[in-house]
Structure 1
Amino acid sequence: MITGLDHAVVLVRDIEAGVAGYQTLLGRAPMWRAQSNGAAIAIFVLDNTSLELMAPAGEGEAADRVRAALDKQGEGLASLAFGVDDIAKAHHRLTRLGLAPDDISNGASNDLASHRSLAWKRTRASAESTHGIRLFFLERAERLARSPETAPAPVTSLDHLVIATPDPERTAALYGARLGLDMKLDRTIAALGTRFLFFKTGGLVFEVIHRTKDGRGDGPDKIYGVSWRVADIEATRARLLGAGLDVSEPREGRKPGTRVFTVRTGTFGVPTIVIQQGQREP
């Protein structure tokens, strides 16, 4: 049913500031910019997914929704959209699995620069069934090309996306049994007081984390943060330092052969690390 993560949405208060910030971070220009019903979007396309920035821009129903979300949670990750190859079959399966999807709707967007149009069909699972995370499912008529590089040592792809949960069994059942993501690892690291569950889809990893000291609870899950993959971590770090971002020293990642650093500024509320993988993929 699911082919991969189509995109993640980050809400920002000012679209121009968001575009400038993420162009600096990713080393790429947005591939698509549009505005409709009071909301402006910019899409950065990577090898295995896209990042969609969204901000209020004027008045309209969409602007009201975005402003309300920003007032409630601030800037940061807001929703995820999985790609599917057949929206009707996906809707049928989601219904049978108790995820209470909305009716399928048609969507379209016009790029401000090229005046090209994109079309898609989508549905959304109920927030109650997905434990508070807004999950959409999209069938696209056309995929965008990768965003052009604007700086050396750019981000190539999304390595993993982190979801924090008070109940790992509940979340594992959602992403593994119901949505069919490939579960790769279930490990507790006592020194960190954390249980980690890894699911793979479309060339990236969903990392579910649970702080074991808190015990199991019934609160909502949260899209916690991201890890951007690069080919040369030293070159990317030097580029970001030169652009004025606050980044940590490189360090060894938890996975053998990986190196990471933390990006402390310029992420618009998104906890962010940059990672260089070793020879073997997760």
Structure 2
Amino acid sequence: MIKQLNRIDIAVTDLPGACAAYADLFGVAPHARAADSARFRLANTDVLLQAAGAILPHSGGEGLCGMAFGVDDLERAARLLDNRGVAWTRESGPDGPRLRLDSAASHGAPVTLEPVPARDTRREAETGLTGAGAVVGVDHLVLRSANPTRAMAFWGARMGLSLRFDRTFPQMGARVTLFRCGDMKIEVASREDPAKAEQDDELWGVSWRAADIAGLHARLAGGFDLSEVRRGLEPGTAVFTIRNRTHGVATIAIGARQLEA
């Protein structure tokens, strides 16, 4: 059913400031601007910054507020959702008609389904999306959940995404599962807690894919508060945390770990 991640939506209270911050992060100017939004085009998705007061439904704060997944056939997707017991409503979004999943059915995750864009997606590469310091796209989105079994049933059985990684990290007290979506992933970070099992899941963070993790760290060091580069949870990866100017989005960058001499 789902072919790709069309778009990530981020609510911001200071649109000009957020636009400048994400232009610095990505190394490219916005692809499009409007009075209440700015859109960036990366190699595998769009990132839409939206003025928080213009978004419904939304609490009004800053942070990730939507995941728009691309499907080949919206009507077929609607029938599949019905057959799988997932409630939805039809509405118009920033890119046209879409299906918004009921928040109870998605356990709080802000999910919409939209047609895959007719264009050759962002695969119309922007000038800045190359080179050692490039952010080439999104690697994974992160949700937090107190009910990993429920999350696996939703993303795997109901949404049809392929489970690619499922490991428990005792030192962190966490279980991490990864579901493949096109060339990116949905990560569910879980700390199982029966007392909170019925609480909504939270769309919490994003990992940006680096062409060269050391090169990106060097490029961003002058304008962002960064952690040191460290070993990632996935084999063969290295990551660093971006601590500021992300407008409510928990953010890391990820790339291939360089072999030590």
Q: TM-score, normalised by structure 2?
A: 0.89
2:98 alignment partner, one of 122, 129, 141: 122
The match for 2:33 is 33
The match for 1:50 is 46
Matched, 1:219 2:199: yes
Question: In structure 2, what is the Cα distance between the partners aligned to 1:228 and 1:173?
Answer: 26
Q: Does the 8 Å CA contact 1:28/1:154 hold for their aligned counterparts?
A: no
Decide whether aligned partners of structure 1 residues 93 and 213 sit closer, same or farther in structure 2, where only a CA change above 3 A counts: closer
Question: In structure 1, what is the Cα distance between the partners aligned to 2:129 and 2:83?
Answer: 45
Q: Does the 8 Å CA contact 2:130/2:211 hold for their aligned counterparts?
A: no
1:274 alignment partner, one of 243, 250, 253: 253
The match for 1:69 is 59
Secondary structure at the aligned position of 2:88 is classed as: coil
CA deviations on 1:125-169 (whole Å, 9 max, x unpaired) are 101100011110001344453444189612001111111111111
Matched, 1:262 2:260: no
Question: In structure 2, what is the Cα distance between the partners aligned to 1:262 and 1:214?
Answer: 30
- What displacement does 1:65 show? 3.5
The match for 1:133 is 109
Secondary structure at the aligned position of 2:22 is classed as: helix
Question: In structure 1, what is the Cα distance between the partners aligned to 2:93 and 2:193?
Answer: 44
Question: In structure 2, what is the Cα distance between the partners aligned to 1:75 and 1:211?
Answer: 24
The match for 1:205 is 185
Question: In structure 1, what is the Cα distance between the partners aligned to 2:236 and 2:194?
Answer: 31
Secondary structure at the aligned position of 1:69 is classed as: coil
Q: Does the 8 Å CA contact 2:140/2:206 hold for their aligned counterparts?
A: yes
Q: Does the 8 Å CA contact 2:147/2:193 hold for their aligned counterparts?
A: no
Q: TM-score, normalised by structure 1?
A: 0.83
Question: In structure 2, what is the Cα distance between the partners aligned to 1:81 and 1:225?
Answer: 15
Residue type at the aligned position of 1:262: T
CA deviations on 1:191-250 (whole Å, 9 max, x unpaired) are 11101111001101111111146766110000111111111222211111122x100111
- What displacement does 1:12 show? 0.4
Decide whether aligned partners of structure 1 residues 19 and 150 sit closer, same or farther in structure 2, where only a CA change above 3 A counts: farther
Decide whether aligned partners of structure 1 residues 13 and 257 sit closer, same or farther in structure 2, where only a CA change above 3 A counts: same
The match for 1:171 is 151
Question: In structure 1, what is the Cα distance between the partners aligned to 2:10 and 2:218?
Answer: 25
Residue type at the aligned position of 2:190: H
1:180 alignment partner, one of 114, 137, 160: 160
- What displacement does 1:256 show? 2.6
Question: In structure 2, what is the Cα distance between the partners aligned to 1:255 and 1:96?
Answer: 34
- What displacement does 1:21 show? 0.5
CA deviations on 1:29-60 (whole Å, 9 max, x unpaired) are 2112234xxxx12111112212111015xxxx
Question: In structure 2, what is the Cα distance between the partners aligned to 1:18 and 1:150?
Answer: 19
Matched, 1:21 2:21: yes
Matched, 1:235 2:215: yes
Name which of structure 1's ranges 42-51 and 78-87 shifts more when overlaid on structure 2. Answer: 42-51
Residue type at the aligned position of 1:51: V
Name which of structure 1's ranges 222-231 and 40-49 shifts more when overlaid on structure 2. Answer: 40-49
Q: Percent identity?
A: 38
The match for 2:84 is 97
Question: In structure 2, what is the Cα distance between the partners aligned to 1:28 and 1:235?
Answer: 16
Residue type at the aligned position of 1:21: A
CA deviations on 1:237-279 (whole Å, 9 max, x unpaired) are 1111122x10011111122321111100111111111111259
Q: Does the 8 Å CA contact 1:233/1:274 hold for their aligned counterparts?
A: yes
Question: In structure 2, what is the Cα distance between the partners aligned to 1:268 and 1:54?
Answer: 11
**Within 5 A, what are the aligned runs for 1:152-163?**
153-163=133-143
- What displacement does 1:79 show? 1.2
Q: What stretches of structure 1 of length at least 5 have no aligned partner?
A: 57-61, 109-118
- What displacement does 1:186 show? 1.5
Residue type at the aligned position of 2:220: L
Task: Work out the number of aligned pairs and report it.
Answer: 254
